[in-house]
């Protein structure tokens, strides 16, 4: 029982810590942005309180309330602009309807700030007609919020332009109401105030139901929407009352700051998500390109091996072939079939000591079986590396020499340099050579001569294979033809090996 209680306590503590982390990172995030916006919003209000003289019977407190109302409208317009940028990034039509709603809310803040400083109209001072227009605007905002929840459309009009047109329509309606309202019965302020507050609470509920928004953002925006409703009711219901006007302006300014900071955080999250998606996409494209290159390289190796095996097999069927040549061809075919199997199954050989003479003897047997003339003298050199990698790199150079050597044959020279502890394998031909404009890019992927039947894969593959063995491959500049040099680490020779080599 005690163990279960301790386990339950640990789980509760972990849940509280997790919730605290989420709330700190999200719901209560952006305090620095909010504090900055509050400071900026307070500057014009403070300036009005300090320096504005009384004019036309308006006190500095009323002017400060007007300034705060305008600042609230500006903050809400900033929120609308940030939401618009987010909409342009995501192209989500539901986000677009939210942008339109915020534009309408900001427009109402500007219009209501004008009511505060317009003492010449009894209709405005009464507050009832202003609340009626606020109720109409609330219905428009509610309709936009519901549309944002339920829309399935993939396209919508420009949300900023649509919001501006709705604000102009509401402005025209308010001006018309001021012109004819004096002749009509005044609406009941208390009923309209209740309707406006309830309507904004309904809008807050619609915001909470928007599953496209993070939970913390829904709470903040719903609270902001409720504050907008309360701020308008307090301000419009108490037109002429300086305290009510200041309270309304403070509430609306706070709502504007909260909404603008929340929208900024949402935009930042959207930007971070886009960056993560872009990075993931780049990674996927890189993986696809790498896999594609690997497949092309394996196909290149397999084609080269199969071409040699095909020629060797046909030569075996020739009765005129000498027995010793036939035996060598059979051994070569067996070795190359094993290499082909490893290429297809992608099971590379382990690093080991590679006998260069044995490797070249196998490769040259296949090339000579295809009717190619290749000069070579055994050297007794050995290198460190993977057998298949070294064989494929040398084979690529032999294929290039045969393809671009003009049918004049090629030469393979192997030289050991004890002072540098390397072995040089030079493959040369007497063809036209490498064009000057390709010499600096000859090892790049996809680079090849215009008359070449290949895809520009071989030399790039050869460089990668040689580099993986700790060696280098370079293009020399002979007077005739082309010459490629592979440099590989020389294998360490034991004293017994040196004695056997000397006796032989």
Same domain flag for 251 and 328: no
Same domain flag for 141 and 233: yes
Residue 463: per-residue pLDDT? 92
Least confident segment among 45-54, 115-124, 366-375 = 115-124
Report whether pLDDT(393) > 70: yes
Residue 493: CB atoms within 10 A of its CB come to 14
Residue 440 is assigned to a structural domain of this protein: yes
Greater model confidence, 91 or 143: 143
Report whether pLDDT(466) > 90: yes
Q: Which domain holds residue 71?
A: 27-280
Rg (CA), the chain: 41
Which of 126-140, 170-184, 403-417 holds the top average pLDDT?
A: 403-417
Global pTM reads: 0.53
Residue 238: per-residue pLDDT? 58
Report whether pLDDT(436) > 90: no
Q: Token match 């998606």: residue?
A: 277
Residue 496: per-residue pLDDT? 46
Report whether pLDDT(140) > 70: yes
Same domain flag for 78 and 180: yes
- Angstrom distance (rounded) from CA 432 to CA 482: 8
Tokens of 384: 């460190």
Contacts of residue 124, Cβ cutoff 8 Å, sequence gap at least 6? 115, 118, 130, 178, 239
DSSP string spanning 222-264? HHHHHHHHHHHHHHHHTTT-HHHHHHHHHHHHHHHHHHHHHHH
- pLDDT tens-digit readout, 198-253: 887 888 887 788 777 778 878 888 888 888 878 777 766 655 566 777 777 778 78
Q: Which long-range contacts (CB under 8 A, 24 or more apart) does 267-272 make?
A: 267/82, 267/83, 267/85, 267/86, 267/89, 269/214, 270/86, 270/89, 270/90, 271/89
Residue 164: per-residue pLDDT? 85
Q: Token match 């849940």: residue?
A: 15
Instruction: Count structural domains, the chain.
Output: 2
Report whether pLDDT(502) > 70: no
Residue in 428, 299, 305 with CA at minimum distance from that of residue 365: 305
Tokens of 161: 């332009």
Residue 179 belongs to a domain with what CATH number?
1.20.1070
How far from the centroid of its chain's Cα atoms is residue 56's Cα?
58
Greater model confidence, 413 or 406: 413
Same domain flag for 197 and 322: no
- Angstrom distance (rounded) from CA 201 to CA 214: 19
- pLDDT tens-digit readout, 56-96: 444 556 666 677 777 777 888 888 888 888 888 776 777 78
Same domain flag for 74 and 122: yes
- Angstrom distance (rounded) from CA 22 to CA 16: 10
Residue 188 is assigned to a structural domain of this protein: yes
Residue 270 is assigned to a structural domain of this protein: yes
Residue 224 is assigned to a structural domain of this protein: yes
Same domain flag for 325 and 265: no
Report the chain's terminal Cα–Cα distance, integer Å: 86
What average pLDDT does the chain have? 75
Residue 25: per-residue pLDDT? 45
Q: At what angle do helices 242-316 and 215-237 cross, to 10 degrees?
A: 160
Residue 57: per-residue pLDDT? 44
The H helix count followed by the E strand count for the chain is 15, 7
Which of 60-69, 70-79, 392-401, 472-481 holds the top average pLDDT?
A: 392-401
CB 250 within 8 A of CB 67: no
Q: Token match 């006998």: residue?
A: 355
Residue 321: CB atoms within 10 A of its CB come to 15
Residue 231 is assigned to a structural domain of this protein: yes
| Phi, psi for 485 (deg, rounded to 5) | -125, 125
Average pLDDT over residues 176-200: 66
CB 297 within 8 A of CB 457: yes
CB 340 within 8 A of CB 303: no
Same domain flag for 221 and 75: yes
β partners of residue 353:
384
Residue 11 is assigned to a structural domain of this protein: no
CB 473 within 8 A of CB 466: yes
- Angstrom distance (rounded) from CA 190 to CA 18: 45
Same domain flag for 330 and 469: yes
- Which of 280, 309, 342 delimits the end of a domain? 280
Tokens of 199: 């309507």
Greater model confidence, 466 or 186: 466
Average pLDDT over residues 469-495: 82
Same domain flag for 422 and 467: yes
- pLDDT tens-digit readout, 355-373: 999 999 888 888 888 788 8
Residue 395 belongs to a domain with what CATH number?
3.30.565.10
- pLDDT tens-digit readout, 91-117: 677 778 888 888 888 887 777 766 544
Contacts of residue 451, Cβ cutoff 8 Å, sequence gap at least 6? none
Report whether pLDDT(404) > 70: yes
Q: Report residue 55's pLDDT band, with 50, 70 and 90 as the boundaries.
A: very low
Tokens of 58: 């308006």
Distance set, CA 313 to CA 316, 327, 334, 365 (Å): 5, 12, 11, 12
Residue 383: per-residue pLDDT? 93
Report whether pLDDT(425) > 80: yes
Average pLDDT over residues 460-486: 87
- pLDDT tens-digit readout, 14-26: 444 444 444 444 4
| Phi, psi for 386 (deg, rounded to 5) | -85, 130
Same domain flag for 268 and 397: no
- Which of 222, 254, 280 delimits the end of a domain? 280
Same domain flag for 372 and 244: no
Distance set, CA 427 to CA 138, 232, 273, 312, 487 (Å): 84, 87, 53, 22, 12
Q: Report residue 454's pLDDT band, with 50, 70 and 90 as the boundaries.
A: low
Residue 22 is assigned to a structural domain of this protein: no
Same domain flag for 139 and 249: yes
DSSP 23: I
Least confident segment among 143-157, 323-337, 354-368, 450-464 = 143-157
Residue 401: per-residue pLDDT? 84
- Which of 252, 280, 308 delimits the end of a domain? 280
490, exposed or middle or buried, with CB in 10 Å at 0-12, 13-18, 19+? buried
- Angstrom distance (rounded) from CA 244 to CA 250: 10
Residue in 41, 100, 396, 107 with CA at minimum distance from that of residue 250: 41
Residue 31 is assigned to a structural domain of this protein: yes
Tokens of 232: 């308008």
């Amino acid at each position: 029982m005690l163990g279960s209680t301790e386990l339950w306590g640990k789980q509760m503590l972990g849940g509280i810590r997790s919730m605290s982390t989420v709330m700190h990172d999200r719901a209560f995030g952006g305090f620095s942005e909010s504090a900055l916006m509050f400071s900026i919003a307070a500057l014009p209000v403070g300036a009005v309180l300090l320096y504005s003289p009384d004019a036309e019977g308006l006190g500095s407190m009323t002017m400060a309330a007007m300034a705060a109302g305008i600042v609230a409208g500006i903050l809400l317009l900033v929120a609308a602009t940030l939401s618009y940028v987010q909409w342009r990034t995501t192209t989500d039509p539901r986000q677009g309807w939210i942008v339109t709603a915020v534009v309408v809310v900001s427009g109402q803040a500007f219009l209501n700030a004008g009511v505060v400083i317009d003492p010449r109209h009894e209709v405005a001072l009464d507050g009832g007609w202003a609340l009626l227009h606020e109720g109409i605007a609330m219905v428009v905002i509610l309709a936009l919020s519901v549309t944002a929840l339920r829309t399935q459309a993939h396209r919508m009009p420009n949300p900023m332009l649509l919001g501006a047109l709705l604000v102009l329509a509401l402005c025209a309606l308010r001006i018309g109401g001021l012109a004819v309202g004096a002749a009509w019965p005044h609406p009941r302020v208390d009923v309209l105030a209740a309707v406006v507050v309830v309507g904004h609470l309904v809008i807050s509920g619609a915001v909470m139901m928007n599953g496209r928004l993070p939970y913390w953002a829904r709470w903040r925006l719903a609270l902001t929407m409720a504050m907008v409703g309360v701020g308008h009711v307090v301000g419009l219901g108490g037109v002429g009352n300086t305290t009510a006007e200041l309270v309304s302006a403070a509430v609306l300014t706070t709502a504007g700051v909260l909404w603008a900071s929340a929208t900024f955080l949402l935009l930042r999250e959207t930007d971070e998500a886009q960056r993560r998606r872009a990075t993931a996409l780049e990674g996927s494209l890189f993986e696809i390109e790498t896999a594609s290159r690997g497949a092309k390289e394996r196909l290149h190796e397999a084609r080269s091996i199969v071409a040699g095996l095909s020629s060797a097999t046909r030569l075996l069927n020739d009765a005129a072939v000498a027995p010793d040549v036939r035996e060598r061809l059979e051994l070569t075919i067996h070795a190359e079939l094993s290499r082909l199997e490893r290429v297809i199954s992608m099971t590379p050989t382990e690093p080991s000591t590679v006998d260069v003479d044995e490797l070249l003897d196998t490769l040259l047997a296949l090339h000579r079986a295809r009717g190619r003339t290749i000069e070579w003298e055994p050297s007794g050199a050995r290198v460190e590396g993977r057998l298949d990698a070294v064989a494929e790199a040398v084979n690529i150079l032999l294929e290039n020499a045969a393809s671009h050597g003009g049918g004049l044959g090629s030469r393979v020279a192997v030289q050991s340099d004890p002072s540098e502890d390397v072995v040089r394998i030079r493959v040369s031909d007497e063809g036209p050579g490498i064009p000057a404009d390709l010499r600096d890019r000859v090892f790049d992927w996809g680079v090849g001569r215009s008359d070449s039947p290949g895809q520009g894969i071989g030399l790039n593959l050869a460089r990668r294979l040689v580099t993986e063995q700790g060696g280098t491959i370079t293009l020399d500049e002979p007077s005739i033809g082309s010459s490629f040099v592979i440099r590989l680490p020389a294998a360490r020779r034991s004293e017994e090996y040196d004695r056997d080599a000397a006796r032989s």
